[in-house]
Amino acid sequence: MRLETERLTLRSWEERDRAPLASILGDPEVRRFYPSALTPEQAGAQLDFAMERQAAVGVHFGAAELRSTGRLVGLIGLAWIPDETRDAIPGRPAVEIGWQFDKSLWGQGLAPEGARAWLEHGFDALGLSEIVAFTFRGNLPSQRVMTKIGMTRDPASDFEHPRLPPGHPLRPHVLYRISRA
């Protein structure tokens, strides 16, 4: 899998991505809206899972690298929502879009640029009828990206993330939708 935008190459993961991904996901600021930053071992396990999912179902969050340098700068893509999470969301949407980028590149429009390419791929190449995005309700930067790429918040589908315990401050999530139409 490979998509290109003006500034990004969006591709499947490769073994060479382990150390740079661990650096990005190990940054507490990058992971401030997640329960914790990841250890190198946890980031490696996440990479292994993403590679397995890509092989099994064709898509999962993939690598984002700068076209100009080939430097890995984050992850972005589409993923099938696990049943446990789907069951918590009204309407049980099937596919989400998501991203995490190296903080040194925040504010440069890379997330919306890559997300638009993934949306186009999802609707045109994969034939999806709807894609959702969700995040902790306090994650305003990601919500701005969702709005920039044409997604609309669906307050009736906001939910408590089932992978976080009741009362966890990051548990309340908002949901945004976009359809092929």
Contact 33, 136 (CB under 8 A): yes
Within 13 Å, how many C-alpha atoms sit on residue 50's CB side? 25
- Measured distance CA(7)–CA(67) in Å, rounded: 5
Q: What is the mean pLDDT of residues 76-105?
A: 97
Q: Does the structure show a pLDDT above 80 at 82?
A: yes
Distances (CA, A) of 28 to 15, 118, 126: 23, 26, 34
- pLDDT of 65 reads 98
Q: Does the structure show a pLDDT above 80 at 181?
A: no
Residue closest to 108 by CA, chosen among 5, 2, 3, 1: 5
Q: How confident is the model at residue 133 (pLDDT cuts 50, 70, 90)?
A: very high
Contacts of 179 (CB under 8 A, 6+ apart): 129, 130, 131
- pLDDT of 168 reads 97
Contact 14, 40 (CB under 8 A): no
* pTM for this prediction: 0.95
Q: What is the mean pLDDT of residues 106-126?
A: 97
In this predicted model, what pLDDT tens digit does every residue of 14-38 receive, in sequence order?
A: 999 999 999 999 999 999 999 999 9
Residue closest to 58 by CA, chosen among 131, 134, 122: 122
Residue closest to 9 by CA, chosen among 104, 75, 79, 55: 75
Q: How confident is the model at residue 1 (pLDDT cuts 50, 70, 90)?
A: confident
Mean residue pLDDT of the chain comes to: 97
Under the phi-then-psi rule, with left for phi > 0, alpha for psi from -120 to 50, and beta for the rest, what region is 53?
Answer: alpha
